[in-house]
Amino acid sequence: MREELSKEELLNLPYMNSNFSVEERVEDLLSRLTLKEKFKLSAGSWMWYTKPIRRLGIKSFAMHDGPHGVRVDIQGKTQATYFPSAICRASTWNPKLSEKFGIAIAQEVRDVGAQMLLAPGINIHRTPMCGRTFEYQTEDPYLNKKLVIPVVKGIQSQRIAACVKHFICNNQEINRFTINAEVSERALQEIYFPAFKAAVQEADAWSIMSSYNKINGIYGSEHHHLLREILMKKWGFIGFVVSDWNATDLTSSTESCINAGLSLEMPMQKKYLPIKMKNAFDEGKFTEEILNDNIKRLLRVMFLTGLFDDESTLPQGSRNTKEHQNLACEIAEEGLVLLKNEGNLLPLNMEKLSKIAVIGPNANLQTYLGGGSSTNFPPYEITPLKGLQTKCEGKIEITDTPANADVALIFAGLKHIKGMDAEGYDKDIFKLPQEQIDLIEKTVDENSNTIVIMVAGSPVSMIEWMEKVPVVMYAWYGGMEVGNALSALIFGEVNPSGKLPITFPKYLSDSPAHVSERTYPGDENVYYDEGIFVGYRYFDSKNIEPLFPFGYGLSYTTFVYENLRLDGEKISGDELVTITVDIINSGDCSGAEVVQLYIQDIVSSIERPIKELKGFKKIKLKPGEKSNVMFTIGKRDLSFFDENSRSWKTEEGEFNILIGSSSRDIRLKCKIEYIN
Ligand code: BGC
């Protein structure tokens, strides 16, 4: 039996002293832990906590979902801000907003007394049918990376750990616990890894969640190559890996998880049952050194998040503040995407209307129950109808009869239920439910000024009715302030500036994962036969016209692109080239444009995408205002992953630089040459 330390003795131990460095504190605490205590620390208890070790004053480390707001309990006793879904935030193409979101959500995590947020989710949108598409950011690795960095930095600036999930290739919900993703090394390197790698190397993410699925035959939580070799050794990850909840169930053994580098098994001990750990240890299946490495990673994050420190020395928490709610509104305003605006029907002019019809199943739908772990419990949610009622009060009558209204607004789309946008299942159909299609068609017949607003977290087929409707806007799941954001956009107080972070196909069969059963949904295995040709990379290379391309979104104003210039036409080695373009707001209202830069390798020894996003900038301009936008491009932006040499390679030759307003609206083009 170990001697109990008095409270005072405990507080005098070196690891309790915040004047020591994190590494000194980790080493000191580790040296005091018994083997049994290390086993105990390796698995959670209850849903969201590690086990405390009172002898040493180690409190429970608390972690909560999720990507759109902190959720402490499933009854909703603790309320928190419900931010727009990740796909909506990604549609802002605004890294600054992602950072603000990270800071705000972390303040809410601090306020509920936890240390880690189980977010952001950054799996690539491989198919629009994935039930969790709304929870993830994009189909493009560059955009994914540029948005995850500020989220992680924002969260961790508050000394709250981000847990970047799900590592890796958790791209569908069908058979999510068992499916084996067969994916090439090149696709991992070029498509699936970059955002995780950037989260580690450029944002120093403190935790990564391993995925349920297998990757090339091995479960994520016991994948030695992916966790130890790539994540830890190659990328230099210093944080800890936590299993997705119950993801260890099907892994082969206790020691395979330990040796792979899984520090924490959640939500409870299974493979990390102390007796199993002891037996495996006694049989020499893992060493204490390996276990120490796993434990050190967890302790490191406990110190980084201030678990042992006086709370008054930590960044202050706050929750449900007006500031956070305004931020939720701002993200929605910038994230909603205007897809079609024939005859400039939008924005509506309050002065000229007397009656609008507001109909459709999603007009008054609350979406905070996120269909799984992304569920939120906000103090309120302004639905589209509520937002419009407030905006129109005393000025415009709202009716539910399109025939005699000036304009009809139909709120169509999906919701967070099985078979739509929900965790644990993929979507059943790509279309809208038939009754909604009927409603749209009937309404357009009755009122030609029909505006369809889609409330959905993933692309939905719109080909059947799109032509008949003059205006379509995608509102995603826009968080607790969506109704206010929407009415500000509809009445032109805010100019839309969202751009699609995912390609909208005309038909599902056009989509790269949907060429056969083998590529989706698979059975035991799902084959990523499309390789690197995910999203617009596939539509471009196969010359398939999407319904709406990646990077697309309209504004109430127009932008002229001109005067593209370079500070050099040839680069060699590590030299950089600066590309500048002038953007002019040529319309008559203020607005923001997302200027996109794509690279095209003109001649290559292997097949490469027609273009790849390598830069973007969002700029706000007043009518008539002109501004220049600068990009810097180097060797790495021109490279591909060469499977033969297992390294990144930049080939000599010419590359086109394409500057545009979407991936299919390239306005200016120039060439550079790379010489080794
Ligand atoms: C989900 C994770 C989530 C965890 C805890 C899992 O089912 O895949 O994203 O963080 O549950 O709720």
Q: What is the mean pLDDT of residues 560-589?
A: 97
Split at pLDDT 50, 70, 90, the class of 177 is very high
Q: Which atom of ligand 1 is nearest to the CA of 170?
A: 8
Amino acid 577: pLDDT: 97
What integer best gives the mean pLDDT of the chain?
97
| Cα 405 to ligand 1 centre (Å) | 45
pLDDT digits (tens, 9 = 90+) for 486-519: 999 999 999 999 999 999 999 999 999 999 999 9
pLDDT digits (tens, 9 = 90+) for 202-243: 999 999 999 999 999 999 999 999 999 999 999 999 999 999
Amino acid 447: pLDDT: 98
Question: Are the C-beta atoms of 150 and 99 separated by less than 8 Å?
Answer: yes
- For the sheet with 180-182, list strands across it: 218-219, 214-215, 180-182, 525-527
Question: Are the C-beta atoms of 472 and 459 separated by less than 8 Å?
Answer: no
Question: Are the C-beta atoms of 103 and 160 separated by less than 8 Å?
Answer: no
| Cα 194 to ligand 1 centre (Å) | 22
Reply yes or no on whether the pLDDT at 334 is more than 70.
yes
Q: Which atom of ligand 1 is nearest to the CA of 373?
A: 12
The SS3 assignment for 498 reads: coil
Q: What is the mean pLDDT of residues 549-570?
A: 97
Atom 4 in ligand 1: residue holding the nearest Cα: 245
| Cα 374 to ligand 1 centre (Å) | 8
Q: Ligand 1: list residues with CB < 6 Å.
A: 65, 118, 165, 244-245, 373
Amino acid 2: pLDDT: 63
3-state DSSP percent of the chain in helix, strand and coil, to 5 = 30, 25, 45
| Cα 298 to ligand 1 centre (Å) | 19
Tokens coding 568: 């050099």
| Cα 461 to ligand 1 centre (Å) | 28
Percent of the chain scoring above 90 in pLDDT: 98
Question: Are the C-beta atoms of 190 and 142 separated by less than 8 Å?
Answer: no
Q: Which class for 670: exposed (0-12), middle (13-18), buried (19 or more C-beta within 10 A)?
A: middle
* Residue in 210, 244, 426 to alter for ligand 1 test, most ligand atoms within 8 A of Cβ: 244
Domains identified in the chain and CATH numbers = 34-171+178-313 (3.20.20.300), 333-541 (3.40.50.1700), 559-675 (2.60.40.10)
Atom 9 in ligand 1: residue holding the nearest Cα: 373
Atom 6 in ligand 1: residue holding the nearest Cα: 245
Tokens coding 258: 């330990």
Nearest Cα to Cα of residue 72 among 132, 113, 121: 113
Q: Which atom of ligand 1 is nearest to the CA of 121?
A: 9
| Cα 119 to ligand 1 centre (Å) | 9
Task: State how far the Cα of 596 lies from the Cα of 663, in Å rounded to an integer.
Answer: 8
The SS3 assignment for 494 reads: coil
Task: State how far the Cα of 513 lies from the Cα of 515, in Å rounded to an integer.
Answer: 6
Q: Which amino acid is at 464?
A: E
pLDDT digits (tens, 9 = 90+) for 44-76: 998 999 999 999 999 999 999 999 999 998 889
Q: Which atom of ligand 1 is nearest to the CA of 66?
A: 10
Q: What is the mean pLDDT of residues 296-300?
A: 98
Q: Which class for 219: exposed (0-12), middle (13-18), buried (19 or more C-beta within 10 A)?
A: buried
Q: What is the mean pLDDT of residues 548-575?
A: 97
* Residue in 179, 373, 426 to alter for ligand 1 test, most ligand atoms within 8 A of Cβ: 373
Q: Give me the torsion for CA of 562, 567, 572, 574, rounded to 10°.
A: -100
Question: Are the C-beta atoms of 82 and 376 separated by less than 8 Å?
Answer: yes
Question: Are the C-beta atoms of 66 and 114 separated by less than 8 Å?
Answer: no
Amino acid 229: pLDDT: 98
pLDDT digits (tens, 9 = 90+) for 246-274: 999 999 999 999 999 999 999 999 999 99
Tokens coding 495: 């100019």
Task: State how far the Cα of 662 lies from the Cα of 147, in Å rounded to an integer.
Answer: 18
Atom 8 in ligand 1: residue holding the nearest Cα: 244
| Cα 211 to ligand 1 centre (Å) | 9
Amino acid 5: pLDDT: 85
Q: Which amino acid is at 114?
A: A
Amino acid 371: pLDDT: 87
Q: Give me the torsion for CA of 183, 184, 186, 187, rounded to 10°.
A: -20
Per-residue three-class SS string for 606-627: CCCCCCEEEEEEEEEECCCCEE
Amino acid 137: pLDDT: 98
| Cα 330 to ligand 1 centre (Å) | 27
pTM across the whole model: 0.98
Reply yes or no on whether the pLDDT at 3 is more than 80.
no
φ and ψ at residue 55, rounded to 5 degrees: -50, -35
| DSSP assignment of 109-135 | HHHTT-SEE---B------TT-TTGGG
Task: State how far the Cα of 396 lies from the Cα of 398, in Å rounded to an integer.
Answer: 6
Cα 539 to Cα 184, 494, 505, 518, 531: the distances in Å are: 20, 32, 9, 19, 13
Q: Which atom of ligand 1 is nearest to the CA of 176?
A: 8
| Cα 373 to ligand 1 centre (Å) | 5
| Cα 168 to ligand 1 centre (Å) | 14
Task: State how far the Cα of 506 lies from the Cα of 462, in Å rounded to an integer.
Answer: 7
Amino acid 74: pLDDT: 86
The SS3 assignment for 240 reads: strand
Active site residues: 244
The SS3 assignment for 18 reads: coil
Reply yes or no on whether the pLDDT at 385 is more than 70.
yes
Question: Are the C-beta atoms of 374 and 118 separated by less than 8 Å?
Answer: no
Atom 3 in ligand 1: residue holding the nearest Cα: 373
Question: Are the C-beta atoms of 367 and 416 separated by less than 8 Å?
Answer: yes
Amino acid 296: pLDDT: 98
Reply yes or no on whether the pLDDT at 1 is more than 60.
no
Split at pLDDT 50, 70, 90, the class of 382 is very high
Split at pLDDT 50, 70, 90, the class of 95 is very high
Atom 12 in ligand 1: residue holding the nearest Cα: 373
Question: Are the C-beta atoms of 477 and 85 separated by less than 8 Å?
Answer: yes
Lowest mean pLDDT among 82-86, 316-320, 380-384, 568-572: 568-572
pLDDT digits (tens, 9 = 90+) for 6-45: 889 999 999 999 999 999 999 999 999 999 999 999 999 9
- For the chain, what is the radius of gyration of the CA atoms? 26
* Residue in 65, 71, 136, 375 to alter for ligand 1 test, most ligand atoms within 8 A of Cβ: 65
Nearest Cα to Cα of residue 514 among 439, 593, 461, 444: 461
DSSP 343: G
Q: Which atom of ligand 1 is nearest to the CA of 135?
A: 9
Amino acid 559: pLDDT: 98
φ and ψ at residue 303, rounded to 5 degrees: -70, -40
* Residue in 85, 130, 245 to alter for ligand 1 test, most ligand atoms within 8 A of Cβ: 245
